[in-house]
Copies of this chain bind each other. A is one copy, B any other.
Amino acid sequence: MAGPVWIDGRREDSVSVCDRSFQYGDALFETFLIRDRRPCLWEAHLARLRLGCERLGIPLPAPETLWREALAACRGVAAGVLKLQLTRGCGGRGYAPPADPRPTRVFSLHPLPAGLEERRRLGVAVRLCHTPLGINPALAGLKHCNRLEQVLARREWRDPDIYEGLMCDTEGRLVEGVMTNLFWREKERVLTPRLDRCGVAGVVRRWVMDRLRAWGLQVLEVRAHPQALLQAQEVFLTNSVIGIVPVIRWQDARDWPVGETTRRLQRVWSS
């Protein structure tokens, strides 16, 4: 870890090997952008965490506790990244979770990734990954800690000029980037992959969809093949840390200009 770690409110940086996140990836996480000593979009992140807890059967800690610990971690931090990992804790027999789980809360502080401003201004290049995303509605949308698919996809390239890899499901439909959600504009319509079968339902993705609809634009969640991007007038990526980043190149496929919708969203995002 780059920065300090708090486990259940105490400055510690190790966990029991019996923790179910270590054993099975039996956990959820949220990654917050810190601006001026505050985690951004707190309520939206917490809503996703709550949904994940309900679907996995992990008791959500008191939101006041999480907020207090988050604020304490962000103390004095003008800009950075706060990660919250919530595990099912220890216990149970094998895969069977304990009847009365005692979740582990892990907050950790990280610096902003380098080159963020430049990427937002100039845009980034992407590639298409070979590693597919398995389809499973039971886990779709959640930011859980079973992330081997993302690890394998991210291992596919080392070229630092490629910022992100786009992933398809096992049926060849676009889902998301390894660490981002994906949008593209076709004339007056903005499209983004449906996430009912796999993928992470990003907090900034939701923010972007709400914002675009408030502006009267049509936003569609679709099952599309990657080739659909060839018809796009503009393409952009979102996540909690990068915000909104234009895609200017799909390696070996085509280039795009930075689009007007991307710029308009960026202006509101950073204001």
Contact = CB atoms under 8 A, between A and B. Distances in A.
Q: Which of A154, A158, A198 has the most CB of B within 10 A?
A: A154
B136 A170 contact: yes
26 contacts: A14-B16, A17-B106, A17-B108, A24-B25, A24-B146, A25-B25, A25-B148, A26-B147, A26-B151, A93-B113, A94-B154, A96-B154, A96-B155, A97-B154, A97-B155, A132-B137, A133-B136, A136-B170, A137-B170, A138-B152, A139-B148, A139-B152, A144-B148, A145-B148, A146-B147, A146-B148
A107 B257 CA distance: 53
Interface residues of A, number: 56
Contact of A151 (B14, B97, B158): B97
A122 to B, nearest CB: 20
Interface string A95-139: 111010000001010000100000000000000000111111111
B131 A134 contact: no
A1 interface: yes
Nearest to A27: B22
Determine how many copies of this chain the complex contains: 2
A17 to B, nearest CB: 6
A34 interface: no
Most chain B beta carbons < 10 A, residue from A134, A137, A138: A134
Interface in A136-191: 136-139, 144-155, 158, 170, 178-179
Given A24-B147, A95-B178, A96-B154, 10 more contacts: A13-B17, A14-B16, A17-B106, A17-B108, A19-B22, A22-B145, A23-B145, A25-B146, A134-B134, A146-B147
Contacts of A132: 136-138
Contacts of A108: 17
A21 interface: yes
A140 to B, nearest CB: 9
Interface in A184-220: 198
